[in-house]
Structure 1
Amino acid sequence: MSDAQSTRAALARHDKKGVKTATANINAPRWGNALFIAPYMVFFITLLVFPMIWNIWLSLHRADAFSMGRFIGIGNYVRLLNDGVFLKAVWNTFYFVFLSVPPLALVGLFLALALNRQTKTAAALRTLYFSSSVLSVTIVTLIWRIVFIGQFGLLATIYGWFDATPPAFLSDPDLVMIGIAIATVWWCIGLPMMLYLSALQQIPKEIYEAAALDNAGRWRTLRYITLPSIKRTVILVVIIQIVMQFQLFGQARLMTNGGPNNESLPMVLYIYQMAFTRWDIGLGAAASEVLFVMILIAAMAQFMVSRKKGDN
């Protein structure tokens, strides 16, 4: 065999070996790719998974800030069911969600429809309505306490011009949750509005042009084109707001501290009082698990109902 033939044979063997090695590397698992998700998984497990498991474990113990205590099973949950204050907090939370979520979904939609225009005035108004969403809960509650405070507040001043008695939103048991809901809607309306605006701007203009050629009025266009086109966004807004408003805390804590007579005490404030004021951490952990299940059920129920309506 000549030197040229020997060289070609060696190259052929090398090429076959390289092909086999490349094929083997392609089919082999690439554990190195796990490094890309490792930082996220560390934070996910450390800040979410582990606290959830630890909270469930705490809810099964009579624990305080200094010791785990003894294992009592579902004893903390039984204590919650026999606690009238907790049952009142559950009712207040559901009542607040009922007061706040529909206005946030409907008023946000109305503002988005009204401001879905390419004008400087619409852009300025969009910025104005969204600006409240970037405020902290402390500033929001301070503003609305100035509005609602009796005798000297803005609302009392306006009613005084007409010699009328202003509603006592911060002290009347029948109005206190309504007052907190008003402040919350004013604070949170920016996010639903922007989500609706984003969805509205994705609707092709050709559809509206075709509707105009068919002499479709505004109501028919809204009913048969706009609303069906943004149906998924409506569902998203409702679910987001249900989850957010179930977690009412700052407004009630700073505006009324749960008063008067626990009429504005939500579940999160109850959990805070049990765990960090009375140091009954086991009871607070059990209440937080109940809240988690309530939020999950409410969000899933809304999603399933909306999905069935969409299928029909």
Structure 2
Amino acid sequence: MSSTTTTLATTLRPRTATAAESARLRWGRRFQHGGWFVAPFLVLYGLFVMVPVARGLYLSFTDANISGDHTSFVGLDNYREALKDDLVWSSLWHSVQFTLYVVPAIVVVALLMALVAHHTVHFKWLWRLCFFAPFLLPSAVVGNLWWWLFQPVNGMVNHVLGTDTPWLTQKSTAMLAIVVATLWWTVGFSFLLYLAALQAIPRHLYEAAELDGAGAFQRLTHITVPNLRNITGLVLALQILASLQVFDQAVVMYQFTPGPEESTRTFVQYTLEQGFTSYRVGYASAISFILFLIIAVVALGRMWLLRDREEGTTR
């Protein structure tokens, strides 16, 4: 009698799901609630991003030309050649040089613009519109606009400064011209990020500091800047990743040439020269994946630093 009861109880007892079954059920519920909404994006992302990336990775191990005929597998020869190519290193240095110039300038100028727009009493909408409007312009428009502004005779820059500097035709000022144009064009995006972060800082912090006798500079250094630390890290990461891929404004301002003494040829520009001028698609694919690895290292490094900072604050 007891054995029969035990067997019956065992049969009626609900079976405990294994870890694999629990995970499968959990992911099934997640996909049921949101998977169908992101499925069209995933299909398009795989079709127009992952498939071309995989195709480009394959081509980087071949000697493919732009016509696609007579393609043969060459292994790592393209990568070995790229590491020995002086133009690869010089164009990479130009991109890094541009990044070192423009990123700190964007951070400082965007923060100052956000402070002005945040503390202005009248016509706040006008300040925001004026600061953000250049970011809406296409790169071709920006490049041609600043090409005209930097003209040595009729350009507005020399007219305002009272000089006749050939900004676009001498090596010492060629990269600076691109930096100024890029700063004017792209600072509006970082300005919006800083402005939103400023509006999120609790007002009572400033009121308490004023009651303690803190001046404007002390409130800026001890309240504003520390509270903008995370957004500054985001701006730095976004601008570094974008600056390493500089291309549009450089080639438009210099009429698709490498600039005076090849001082403005960027890494992306050299990649396109190899692919569409020298018709070496395989070699261009290898160069592009070298840049991809550099950008990936920068992005992962930023994530690692951010993780350590968050872990340090939680401890």
Q: Which residue of 2 is the match for residue 151 of structure 1? A: 153
Contact 1:61 1:68 in 2 (8 A): no
Fraction of identical pairs, as percent: 28
* Counterpart pick for 2:106 among 104, 107, 113: 104
Residue segments in structure 1 that go unaligned for 5+ positions in a row: 1-19, 21-26
CA distance in 2, matches of 1:271, 1:149: 28
Q: Which residue of 1 is the match for residue 10 of structure 2? A: none
* Counterpart pick for 1:238 among 218, 236, 239: 236
* Equivalent runs, 1:73-152 vs 2, <5 Å: 73-117=75-119, 119-152=121-154
Q: Which residue of 1 is the match for residue 17 of structure 2? A: none
1:79 corresponds to which letter in structure 2?
E
| 1:137-162 deviations in Å (ceiling 9; x for gaps) | 11111111111112222233345xx5
Shift of 1:68: 6.3
Shift of 1:302: 4.3
Shift of 1:35: 3.0
CA distance in 1, matches of 2:274, 2:122: 50
* Equivalent runs, 1:214-233 vs 2, <5 Å: 214-233=212-231
Task: Tell me the secondary structure at the aligned position of residue 60 of structure 1.
Answer: coil
Does residue 281 of structure 1 match 2:303?
no
CA distance 1:222–1:178, shift in 2 (3 Å): same
Q: Which residue of 2 is the match for residue 295 of structure 1? A: 295
* Equivalent runs, 1:141-290 vs 2, <5 Å: 141-159=143-161, 162=162, 164=163, 166-256=164-254, 257=256, 258-290=258-290
| 1:210-247 deviations in Å (ceiling 9; x for gaps) | 11111111222112211111211000001010111111
TM-score (norm: length of structure 2): 0.83
Q: Which residue of 2 is the match for residue 37 of structure 1? A: 38
Task: Tell me the secondary structure at the aligned position of residue 123 of structure 2.
Answer: helix
CA distance in 1, matches of 2:211, 2:191: 29
Shift of 1:63: 0.7
CA distance 1:227–1:120, shift in 2 (3 Å): same
CA distance 1:226–1:241, shift in 2 (3 Å): same
Shift of 1:55: 1.4
2:184 corresponds to which letter in structure 1?
W
2:159 corresponds to which letter in structure 1?
T
CA distance in 1, matches of 2:85, 2:182: 28
| 1:6-52 deviations in Å (ceiling 9; x for gaps) | xxxxxxxxxxxxxx9xxxxxx88448724333212101211222222
Shift of 1:307: 5.9
CA distance 1:309–1:222, shift in 2 (3 Å): farther
Task: Tell me the secondary structure at the aligned position of residue 73 of structure 2.
Answer: coil
Task: Tell me the secondary structure at the aligned position of residue 152 of structure 1.
Answer: coil
Shift of 1:71: 1.0
Q: Which residue of 2 is the match for residue 11 of structure 1? A: none
Task: Tell me the secondary structure at the aligned position of residue 50 of structure 2.
Answer: helix
Task: Tell me the secondary structure at the aligned position of residue 214 of structure 2.
Answer: coil
Contact 1:235 1:303 in 2 (8 A): no
Indicate the structure (1 or 2) with the bigger Cα radius of gyration: 1
2:224 corresponds to which letter in structure 1?
T
How many residue pairs align between the two structures?
285
* Equivalent runs, 1:29-68 vs 2, <5 Å: 29=25, 30=28, 33=32, 34-65=35-66, 66-67=68-69
CA distance in 2, matches of 1:58, 1:216: 62
Q: Which residue of 2 is the match for residue 17 of structure 1? A: none
CA distance 1:38–1:158, shift in 2 (3 Å): closer
Shift of 1:59: 0.7
CA distance in 1, matches of 2:220, 2:301: 26
TM-score (norm: length of structure 1): 0.84
Shift of 1:167: 2.4
Shift of 1:305: 4.6
CA distance in 2, matches of 1:150, 1:203: 46
CA distance in 2, matches of 1:145, 1:119: 36
Contact 1:242 1:299 in 2 (8 A): no
